[in-house]
Chain A
Amino acid sequence: MTELEAGRAQVLVPVRSGAALQRYRDVLIALIAFAVLASLPFFTGSKALLDFVIRCSAYGLFATSLNLLVGYTGLTSFGHGMFFGLGAYSFGLIMQKLGVPVPVAFVATLAITAVIAAIIGAICVRLKDIYFAFVTLAFQMLIHSTILSWASFTGGDQGLRGGIPRPAFLGINLANHVHLYIASCALLILGLLAMRQIAQSPFGYTLRMIRDNAARASFLGIDVWRAKLTVFVLAALFAAMGGMVMALFVSGAYPEFAYWTISGEGIFINMLGGVSTFLGPMVGTVLLLLLNDTVTRFTEYHGIVLGVVILFFALGLRKGLLDFVAEWFSHRDAGEGR
C-alpha cells in the first residue's frame, strides 16, 4: 500500500460507516413513511384520498425512476413513458391471457421490461444529449404504434378491455380498494428505497461522475456505456412498476400510457419538484396531481393554469420546488455558521 493509498483508506473508513448509518436511517424513514401511509385508511374514510395516493405511487415511481436518468446520469430521456406503458400492458395481458397469480405476473413483467429496455438501451445510450432524447422518443413512438396496430393482441386504441382479473394471493385481494391502496404504498416505498440505495451506492456516484464528466470517468477506467445501460434498465424496471400500479388502478391498460405525453408529464414533474434532491420528483408528483385534480374541478382551461405554473418554475424559480427549498435551507445554515 503506498502512502497515498493508506491516506485514502483512512478517509474511506468513516465515509463507509457513515454510508451504513445513512442506509439504516433511510430504511427507518421508509418504514415510518409506510406505517403512516398504511394507517391512513383507519383515520379517514375518504376513498378520494386513497385514490390520490395510489396515483401518486404510480406517477411517483415513474418520475423518480426518470430522475435516475435525468438528474443522476444526465441522460434526458423523452421516451421513458414507453416503460410505463410496457409495464401496464405486459401485466394486464399476462393477467388476462394466462391467469397466473399476481406476483408471477409482476415478476414476469419486470423480466420482459428488462429484456426490452436492454435492447433499446444498448442502442440509445451510445448517444448523447439531444440525439439520446430523440432516439428514446422514437422508440417510444414505435412501441405506441405497435400497441395501436396490433389490435388483435392489445385491443388497439381501445386498450385492454374487460378488466384485469385480480385473484387473491397470500391473503391480499387487490380487487379490494384498501388492499390495493396498501399494496401500492408498499410498492412505492420499496421502489423509492431501492432507488435511493442505487443513488447512494458507489454505482450511484459513478453515475454522477458520468453526468459531470464522462470523459474523465472513462479515463478512470469506468465502462461508461455499461454503467449507462445498467441505469437505463434499472430505471425502466421502476417505471414499469409504476405502470403496473396504474393498470391495477384503472383495471386496464390504454395506449395513452405509452404515448409521449406521459414522458412529457414525467419531465414536467421533475421540473416542478427538482432534480438535485432524491425526493424532488416525488414532491413534483404530489404537486402536479394536486394541481391537476383541483384545477380540473373548476375549469376546463387547466392547460393555461398548468402553463403559468411551469413558466413560474422555469423562469421565476429557475429550478424545482425542492431544489429551491434545499438552497434556501443551506443558505440559512451558512448564515448561522457565520
Chain B
Amino acid sequence: MTRTRTPGISRRSTLALMGAGAMSVAAPWVARAQAKTVKIGMPTILSGRVAQLGTSSRNAVMLEVDKVNAAGGLAGRQIEMVVRDSKGQPQEAARVARELVNTDGCELLLDGEASSGSFAVHEVARDLGVLCIHTCSEASSLTADPKQHIPNSFRCVRQGIHDSIVGGSYAAGIAKAKGLKKWATCSPDYAYGRDTTGEFTLYLKRFAPDVEVISESWPKLFQPDYTEVVTKILQAKPQALYSCLWGGDLTSYIDQANIYAMFTQMEVFAVNMADYTALTVVKNLPKGIHSGNRYIKSFPTTPENAAWGDAYKAKYNEYPTNWSWQNATAVMFLAEAAKKANSTDGKKLAEVLKGLTIKCPFGADGTVTMRGDDHTLVGYAIGWGTTIPQEPYVPEVKAGDWRTIFELEAEWKKSKGYT
C-alpha cells in the first residue's frame, strides 16, 4: 500500500504561519481610552436587509452626541462614538460588543441590535458589567421577564405590548363605530409577527367582544410574492384586516394588494405603516390605512418634534426612522444622567437612570421616563391615525392613553408569570 498523497508541508512552517496570525491580533492596535474623552460603543446593523435602520440609528446618535459635546460633553468629557457593524448576526453582535469594551476601551454601550442580537449583547453586558442601553429591540420579554433583568442594562425602545394595547383599543373603537365584525390578519411568520398579532387581537376582542377573526395568513419574512395571501384574504371577505408586516415586506404587500384594489374593500390596520421608510417607498399609498405611529414629525404635534425631524432631514437628507428617535432619546438620557450624577461611571449612571424623567421631543406630554422597576422606557408618544398619499402622510394621530397601557400591561405581565 502506498500513500496517495505526499505528507504536505512541514508542521513547523504551518505553526509559524498560525503564530504569525495570532501575533498580528495581539498587536496593540488600539489606543487605550484617553482620560479626557469617554468612548461609547455601539454595535448595530449597517449591512444587509435592514441596514437603513442601523444607519438611521447611527445618524440620530451622532446628531445628539454633537449637541452634547457642544454643550460640554458627559460630565465634562467629550463623547467619542465607536459604531460597528454586526451584520445582524447575534454571534457577531456579541463579539463586536466585547471588542468595543475590551479592546477599544468603551465605557458605555448603546445596543443598536434587533431581536436575537439584542439578547446576545444583553449577555455581554451581564458578563462584563458595563452599562448598556438597548435602543432598537422591541421584544417585550427583554425587560418584562425578570430572568432577563440585570442592574446595568436599560431599554430605551417602544414595546410590542404597548403598541398592541393602544392598537387594540383604537381598532375596537372603529370596529364598534363602523360595525366591523369579521377580521382577517396577515403578519410575518416569526416571533414578532405571531406575538404582536396575538396581543393585538387579544385587546381588540377585549374592547370589542363581538369581533371574530375569520382568516389568518402568515407569509414568510422577506417573502417577495404576496399574490396567494392577497387572494386568500379577498376570498374570505373580511370587513377589516390587521397586519404587522414592516419595511420592505409591507411596501411590497401594499403595492401587490393595490392591483386587486384590496384597500377599497376593507378597513386596513397596519401598525408599521406610519414610518417614513414605508410611507415614502410605496408607489400609490392608499388613503385611509390605519397605522400606529413609528416616527412621524407631525406626532406629537409639538414644535420640538417637528424641529427635530427637520434638523435630521437637513443633515442627512432623509427622514428619521423609528430607530432614530429611540437612539436619540438614549443619548438624551445619558446626558441628563451624567449631569445628575456628575460622573460617567456606569454604576452611578445606572443608579440615576432608574426612574429618571427627562424632557424629550418624543414624549406624550413632552417628557419620557425610564421606569425604575423594569428599566424600560414609558411615556413616549404613542397613537394611531389614518394615512393620506402625500405629506404629512398621517395628518391626525389619536394619542393612546398611558393610564390604560399601564393597567393592561400589569395584567399582561401577571398572565405571563413575570410578576
The chain A residues found within 8 Å of chain B, CB to CB, are 8, 11-12, 15, 25, 29, 33, 36, 40, 44, 46-49, 51-53, 55, 148-149, 151, 155-159, 161-163, 205, 208-209, 212, 246, 249-252, 254-257, 261, 276-279, 282-283, 286-287, 290, 293, 296-297, 300-303, 322, 325-326, 329-330
Contact residues of B between 83 and 137, Cβ < 8 Å to A:
84-85, 87, 89-92, 94-96, 98-99, 102-103, 115-116, 119-120, 122-123, 126-127
Nearest-CB residue, chain A, relative to B17:
A283
A33 CB contacts on chain B under 8 angstroms: 15
Contact B102 A276, beta carbon cutoff 8 Å:
no
Q: With a CB–CB cut-off of 8 A, which chain A residues contact B40? A: none
**Residues in B neighbouring A36, C-beta threshold 8 A:** 19
Partner of B139, one of A158, A256, A303, A330: A158
Q: B189 contacts which chain A residues (CB < 8 A)? A: 149
Known: A11-B1, A156-B190. A254 touches B98 (CB 8 A): no
Contacts of A287 in B (CB 8 A): 21
Question: Which residues on the A side are within 8 Å of B148 (C-beta)?
Answer: 161-162
The interface residues of chain A lying within 8 Å CB-to-CB of B70 are none
Instruction: Return the CB mask of B280-302 against A: 1 if under 8 Å, else 0.
Output: 00000000000000000000000
Q: How far is the CB of B242 from chain A (nearest CB, A)?
A: 20
Which residues of B does A touch, CB under 8 Å? Answer: 1, 4-6, 8-11, 13-15, 17-19, 21-22, 24-26, 28, 46-47, 51, 84-85, 87, 89-92, 94-96, 98-99, 102-103, 115-116, 119-120, 122-123, 126-127, 139, 141, 145, 147-148, 189-192, 194
Q: Closest chain A residue to B194 by CB distance? A: A151
Say how far A144's CB is from chain B's closest CB, in angstroms: 12
Q: Which of B6, B123, B141 contacts A163 (CB under 8 A)? A: B123
Which residues on B sit within 8 Å (CB–CB) of A212?
Answer: 4
Say how far A249's CB is from chain B's closest CB, in angstroms.
7
Residues of B within 8 A of A51 (CB): 95, 98-99, 102
**B91–A157 CB distance below 8 A:** no
For residue A301, which residues in chain B have a CB less than 8 angstroms away from its CB? Answer: 47
State whether A252 touches B123 (Cβ < 8 A): yes
B91 and chain A: residue at smallest CB distance? A250
Q: Is the CB of B4 within 8 A of A48?
A: no
- Residues of B near A29 (CB, < 8 A) are 11, 15
Q: Which residues of B contact A286 (CB under 8 A)?
A: 18, 21-22
Asked whether, in the complex, the Cβ of A159 is within 8 Å of the Cβ of B120, the reply is: yes
Chain A residues with CB under 8 A of B8? 276-278, 322, 326
Return chain A residues, CB-CB under 8 Å to B191: 151, 155-158
Contact: B47 with A300, CB < 8 Å? yes
Does the CB pair A159–B18 fall under 8 Å?
no
Please, which residues of chain A bring their CB within 8 A of the CB of B92? Answer: 296
Contact call B98/A302, Cβ cutoff below 8 A? no
B9 touches A322 (CB 8 A): yes
Instruction: Enumerate 14 A-B pairs (CB-CB under 8 Å) in ascending A order.
Output: A25-B11, A44-B26, A46-B28, A49-B26, A159-B90, A159-B119, A161-B148, A205-B4, A208-B4, A246-B91, A252-B120, A256-B116, A277-B9, A283-B18
- What residue of chain A has the Cβ atom nearest to residue B221's Cβ? A157
Would you call A329 and B9 a contact (CB within 8 A)?
yes
Pairwise interchain contact A148-B21, C-beta atoms closer than 8 A: no
Q: Which A residues lie within 8 Å of B123 (CB)? A: 163, 250-252
Least CB distance from B145 to A in Å reads 8
When A46-B103, A278-B8, A286-B18 are in contact, do A157 and B116 touch as well, CB less than 8 Å?
Answer: yes
Tell me whether A49 and B94 are in contact (CB under 8 A). Answer: no
| CB-CB under 8 A for A48 and B103, given A12-B1, A162-B148, A300-B85 | yes
